Amino acid sequence: MRQALAEKQAREEAERQRAAAAAKVRLAEQKLFERAIGAVQPLNHAPRVELQVTRPSPTAFQQALDDQAALRESLSDEFDVSTLLDVDDQMSFRRPGIGHDVTRKLRRGDWTIQGQVDLHGLRSDEARDALGQFIRDAMRMGWRCVRVVHGKGLGSPGKTPVLKSKTQKWLVQKNEVMAFVQAKPAEGGAGALVVLLKGQA
């Protein structure tokens, strides 16, 4: 027992001696540095004003990408819209349960147009994304009646209004869209649609 205690004390003493030796080396190195560079004094700094930097609010880039991906998946160009359109002198659409009086009022201009999106000249994928974003923004704003300008297709190959038919397909697939009609001549005629959106719950 005495031998173990003596060995422990010897180890502790050796450790103290090593620590003291290391401290002496550090002190010697510090003094060597001080002797090498001589006396020093702090640099004088001109008065400074600490500016408060306002960080921009975070942008939900991933959410925007997810929204666009969901939009591309949900809006199909192959959707057969012909069975859902009222084929008359002016193409129109009514969601099941929406009466004929709604489309009549839309044609007459009884609803005030609160905003519009112009898809004219955009590529198909750009127009689809722009339309989806516009509808989401319109719903957030609480708008009920909007105009979608798709153009008459006069600049398309063969003068075929490709974007017009695609816009109708996309709108029919959006649950927020209650009805739409071709705009009056003064509001775009065959190159635009007047769209009625679902009201806020």
Q: 6-10, 138-142, 172-176: which range is least confident on average?
A: 6-10
Does the pLDDT of residue 167 top 80, yes or no?
Answer: yes
**If DSSP codes are grouped into helix, strand and coil, which group holds residue 49?**
coil
| pLDDT tens-digit map of 109-147 | 999 999 999 998 899 999 999 999 999 999 999 999 999
Residue 6 in tokens: 């003596």
At 42-88, the pLDDT tens digits run 666 666 666 666 666 666 666 666 566 555 545 555 555 554 555 44
Per-residue pLDDT, 145: 96
The model's pTM: 0.57
Taking 80 as the threshold, does the pLDDT of residue 14 lie above it?
yes
Higher pLDDT, 169 or 81: 169
The pLDDT score that the predictor gives to residue 26 is 81
Q: Any residues with CB less than 8 A from the CB of 142 and at least 6 apart, and which?
A: 200
pLDDT at residue 156 tops 60:
no
- Across-strand partners of 94? 179
pLDDT of 113 reads: 95
Q: Which of 83, 102, 188, 175 is nearest to 145 (CA)?
A: 102
